[in-house]
Structures are given as C-alpha cells and as structure tokens.
Amino acid sequence: MIKGIIIVNNSGKPRLVKLYQNVFGEQRQQSVIRRVYQQVSTRPDSFCNYLEGSVPEWGENIKLIYRHYATLYFVFAVDAQESDLGILDLIQVFVEALDKRFSNVCELDLIFHSDKVHYILDEIVMGGMVLETNINSILQAINDQERMHNDSMRKAGPSDSVDTISTKLGAGRNW
C-alpha cells in the first residue's frame, strides 16, 4: 500500500502531506518530511526514481518512489506490494489531473488551492490504495463536487458570493 504522499518544493517546504499510515506527533511527522526531502533532493534527475531509504517511522522495507517536476518533488512512500512502475504512472496521472484542473499547474496553485489538491488526490488514492486512474472520471468527480458545492453556496447569504469573487480578485492582484 501507499504509506504516504508528500509534495515538497526544491527548498524543502512541504506543499502537500498525506499520510495513510499514521505517524503520531507533529514532531515525528515533520521529521519524516525532512528525512524524505533530504534523501530525495540530493539525487540528480539522471538517477532512477527509486530510493530504498529507510524512513523508520513507517517501518523497514519502504521504498520512496518520486518524480521531480520543475520546482516540486512528488514523493510516494510505498511498501513491497505496489508495482514500482505503476506508482510512477500514478504520479503522472496525479500531475496530469492537476494540470488539467488548474491549466498549467504551478507551485502557487498547490499553495492557494490546497483544498482542491486534496480533493483531487482523494479521487485518485484512498486510504493508501489506488482508487481511480482514469483522468476523465477523476475530473468528472471533481466537477460534480464543485457544482454541488456551488449549488449549496448559492443558497447561502450574498456575502459569501462577494467573498468568493473578492478572493479571486485578491489572488490575482497579489500573485
């Protein structure tokens, strides 16, 4: 199974952390992220995408499978039950889904839409298992969710929708 998914940027700032096998305590969780970052970031892109670095919090025999896109490392920590190349493909699917949803995804999208990133990931991986790999149905599920979300928002007071708009503008102005 997938023990955890971590997205960190080139300088080690975590952008998404999803641990399917619980690591208790903020301290230890941070040390997992640090350890993963340290091990992955020292490897040039010409190396293979596998690293048998041990992350003791997850137990022995955990393999890190990662891909490096521009400023971000997508790191999946998996046990021996997963297909090595299958996970690489899964990362690709995840990134393609993000790319379609945000049209040309970049690090800022992950920062300011962390909720959506979580939703997309939830449609791909659930509880450490691969849920869906078909990009269309992943995006379909996300669109359905958003539509329903908006529907339920529209029923609420007008202040909400003003907020939504200003959020959008604000994001555009500052970034």
Is residue 93 within the footprint of other proteins (CB under 8 A)? yes
Is residue 70 within the footprint of other proteins (CB under 8 A)? no
From the list 2, 14, 98, 158, which residue makes contact with other proteins (rule: CB under 8 A)?
14
Is residue 167 within the footprint of other proteins (CB under 8 A)? yes
Is 135 in contact with 93 (CB distance < 8 Å)? yes
Long-range contact list for 60-64, CB < 8 A, 24+ apart? 62/3, 64/36, 64/39, 64/40
Is 98 in contact with 105 (CB distance < 8 Å)? yes
Is residue 103 within the footprint of other proteins (CB under 8 A)? no
Interaction with other proteins in 28-47: which residues (CB under 8 A)? 29-30, 33, 43-44, 46-47
- Helix or strand or coil: residue 1? coil
From the list 10, 38, 137, 143, which residue makes contact with other proteins (rule: CB under 8 A)?
137
From the list 9, 41, 54, 145, which residue makes contact with other proteins (rule: CB under 8 A)?
145
86: tokens are: 């299958």
